[in-house]
Amino acid sequence: MKRPLFIILFILLCDQTLKFWVKTHMYLGQEIHVLDNWFILHFTENNGMAFGLQLAGESGKLFLSIVRLLAILALGYYLIHLVRKKAHRGLVICISLIFAGATGNMIDSAFYGLLFSESNFFHPAVFLPHSGGYSFFLLGKVVDMLYFPIVQWHWPAWVPVIGTREFTFFRPIFNIADSSITVGVLALIFFQKRFFRKKVATPETTMTNESS
């Protein structure tokens, strides 16, 4: 259980440290060019899912937070089951990555509204403001900041529908928790046959089981 616990705590530490710094040192929309125009810290917030996807309204946000909380509990139970079962190490790591990412964004939703003042386009938020936080439990906003506009161009005018429009890859702005979820899910997809491969009983193990 030490390896998955280390992965989870490490990702949460990195994710929350960067979010806390961005929240208290940057105003909404502010950009810091870390690696020219290829890697930018761009502070934005969203009410919902990974990469800025969201459900409309306060009720949608509350519903999403509850669903995320239930999913985290289910993932935690499944992870403990895999560890006790001594499942494939890669599978345990993938579930740990997904669990850590989901928990990281859940922390934002659950507590940031209580702990920070409202971020705006003029100055950074305040941690533990005297007037109280900007929202209630489970209604906080998720902090995003990682932006990699590596490739940018305008489509030629002769291209139907999208002609002359700007194209940017990679356009979504995300956070470390989103990355953790994405890496875990993609690894599950690519290596699922290896992770879920059933162990074939050898003659030696069969004879040992029958003799015992």
Residue 163's pLDDT is what? Answer: 82
**Distance from C-alpha of 70 to C-alpha of 124, rounded to nearest angstrom:** 32
Which active-site residues does the annotation give? 144, 178
Residue 25's pLDDT is what? Answer: 98
Of 116, 115, 112, 120, residue with least CA distance to 29: 120
Residue 212's pLDDT is what? Answer: 47
Below-70 pLDDT ranges, the chain: 48-57, 198-212
Q: List the structure tokens of 83.
A: 């560890």
**Distance from C-alpha of 196 to C-alpha of 24, rounded to nearest angstrom:** 44
- Point out which residues pair with 39 in neighbouring strands: 35
pLDDT digits (tens, 9 = 90+) for 129-145: 999 999 999 999 999 99
Residue 62's pLDDT is what? Answer: 84
